[in-house]
Amino acid sequence: MHELVMACHDCDLVQRIGEVPEGGAAQCVRCGATLLKHKRNSLDRTLAWSLAGVVLFVVANTFPFLGFKAGSQIQETTLITGVETLYGQGMWTLSILVFLTTILLPLMQLSALIYLHLPLKLNRIPYKMALVLRYLQAVRPWCMVEVFMLGILVSAVKLAKMATLVPGVALYTFMALIFVIAASLSSLDPHLIWEEWEKKR
């Protein structure tokens, strides 16, 4: 029997919690606050969202992000050339920030999510699981910052070129990617991951 001793986040009462079924939740006996909640099909859903995220990530980084129309000519930019443009214009702090939030962070989040969930799905324990899980929780507040950074990137590049902007495939793909990563992170269930770890140990 899997049992957990937990303190209530709201009233600090320490209590014993038995097995929580999938989709179920445990409530504090004293104040009724939710102690822990088991998300339904967390493993499968997180993995599915993450794999979809990888596909979107590849598309978002290979296809044109923005096009600039000047006369009959269209010049296309990808996400990484946009970052290079910023850098070339001397806005290097901004270019590094945009690179970190729009390229590196999503890539690392997706890798970490798959690194944790794929082995568990295949009945294995990922190496250094606690470390990767902790990393994921640590970068979580940075989720959605990329929306803001994207706006900065677009306006900075637009100011520089003074041409008509044509949104590219990658721009829409990137928007979708942001939501897919958010969905993947929200279906992540650390309690469940630790339970799987105990079962497979």
Enter the tokens of residue 79.
Answer: 């996400």
Residues in region 30-89 near Zn ion by CB under 5 A: 30-31, 33
Among 2, 7, 10, 104, binds Zn ion (CB under 5 A): 10
Name the E strands within 56-187. Answer: 66-70, 73-77, 164-167
SS3 percent helix, strand, coil of the chain, rounded to 5, is 60, 15, 25
Give the strand pairing for 164-167 and 73-77.
unpaired
Least distance in angstroms from the C-beta of 17 to Zn ion: 12
Nearer to Zn ion, 28 or 136 (CB): 28
Stretch that binds Zn ion, among 11-19, 47-55, 107-115, 120-128 (CB under 5 A): 11-19
Judged by CB under 5 A, the number of residues near Zn ion is 8
Nearer to Zn ion, 10 or 22 (CB): 10
Least distance in angstroms from the C-beta of 31 to Zn ion: 3
Binding mask 22-41 for Zn ion (x = CB under 5 A): ------x-xx-x--------
Least distance in angstroms from the C-beta of 66 to Zn ion: 51
Stretch that binds Zn ion, among 2-10, 71-79, 97-105, 124-132 (CB under 5 A): 2-10
Question: Rounded to whole angstroms, how far apart are CA atoms 68 and 72?
Answer: 10
Question: Rounded to whole angstroms, how far apart are CA atoms 144 and 164?
Answer: 27
* Residue 118: closest CA among 132, 104, 137: 132
Note whether 113 and 136 are within 8 A (CB): yes
Within 10 A of 5 (CB to CB), how many other CB atoms are there?
8
Least distance in angstroms from the C-beta of 116 to Zn ion: 30
Least distance in angstroms from the C-beta of 92 to Zn ion: 50
Residues contributing to the site for Zn ion (CB under 5 A): 8, 10-11, 13, 28, 30-31, 33
